[in-house]
Amino acid sequence: MNFFNSDRSERTRLIMKLESIAELEPQDVGTLAALPLRVTDFPARHDIIQEGEKPSECCLLLAGWACRYKVIEDGKRQILSFHTPGDIPDLQSLHIRTMDHSIASLSPIRVAFIPHRSLDALIQGRPRIAHAFWRETLIDAAIFREWIVGLGRRNAYQHMAHLFCELRMRVSAVGLLEDESFELPVTQSDLADASGLSPVHVNRTLMDLRKANLVSFRSSRLTIHDWEGLQRAAHFDPRYLHQQRWKSA
């Protein structure tokens, strides 16, 4: 299977993602669309890349959700980030050859593998795309910083509200927000592993957010009932996402 046999909306996720954070020329869009890709489907809860591997390709998420994670000595898992269509969660493998974490699917996913040599040539030949990828890695670091603040200083209510605000902004950037609702195929255990809370505490926090009529989360779908109220609850400032159109999102 190749890139051009997949659904058009899937094929444009990367372009939409990059255009949400940087300005691309028509030639850049055409070059991105012509990238050689090896498209593969994975089931839910499947490792795409494992810590210690030395990949020769980067993976572009076309459909579904994935996460970065690490497992410590006692078997406990820490989710480091969630990933939506349009993300290349292992872009750093272009320059850091040995993976220091793993990447796994959260739902059934479709991934396009891009050879490192093709990305290197793309970056060397299209300065705007190189700028967009560099900006993407910096935004990735900004998201990590915000997650550290959440883990260390926000209470559970603020932390969960902030995570939902962030994910809402990110899915909106790639056209996956529908009437303030989007697919969120994570379990309460996943949210616990991402937030440093227990599953019981996550459950209570979700109940509190629902009682406040801010969100509802059922059947792997998050619906935001009061976007402004959710932002106030989280003290959410979207500037760290550095989206070009964030003021209108």
Buried b (16+ CB within 10 A) or exposed e, 47-77: ebbeeebebebbbbbbbbbbbbbeeeeeeeb
One-character DSSP codes across 207-218? HHHHHTTSEEEE
Within 10 angstroms of residue 187's Cβ, the number of other Cβ atoms is 13
Calpha distance 242→232 (Å, rounded): 19
What pLDDT shows up at residue 128?
A: 94
Contact 242, 17 (CB under 8 A): no
| Whether pLDDT at 5 is above 90 | no
What is the CATH topology of the domain spanning 154-248?
Arc Repressor Mutant, subunit A (1.10.10)
Handedness of CA 93, 113, 139, 124 (dihedral sign): positive
pLDDT at 7: 53
* Residue boundaries of the structural domains of the chain: 3-139, 154-248
Does this model's pTM top 0.85?
A: yes
Average confidence (pLDDT) over 208-233: 98
Q: What is the pLDDT of residue 249?
A: 41
Task: Give the per-residue pLDDT at 245.
Answer: 53
According to DSSP, the residues that pair with 181 across neighbouring strands are 178, 223
| Spatial separation of the C-alpha atoms in residues 57 and 90, rounded to whole Å | 9
Nearest 5 degrees, angle CA 109-CA 56-CA 136?
A: 65
Domain 3-139 has CATH 2.10.210.10: no
Of the CA atoms within 13 Å of residue 58, those in its CB half-sphere come to: 22
φ, ψ at 70 (rounded to 5°): -130, 150
Q: Given 3-state DSSP classes, what are the helix, strand and coil percentages for the chain, each rounded to the nearest 5?
A: 45, 20, 35
pLDDT the model gives residue 86: 92
Is the backbone of residue 48 left (phi > 0), alpha (psi -120 to 50) or beta? alpha
**Alpha carbon distance 90, 50 (integer Å):** 11
DSSP for 124-170 reads: HH-HHHHHHHHHHHHHHHHHHHHHHHHHHHS-HHHHHHHHHHHHHHH
| pLDDT tens-digit readout, 74-118 | 999 999 999 999 999 999 999 999 999 999 999 999 999 999 999
Tell me how far apart the alpha carbons of residues 7 and 112 are, in angstroms, rounded to a whole number: 13
Which of 112-116, 224-228, 232-236, 242-246 comes out lowest in average pLDDT? 242-246
> Would the CATH topology of 3-139 be identical to that of 154-248?
no
Nearest partner of 139 among 23, 248, 243, 19, judged by Cα: 243
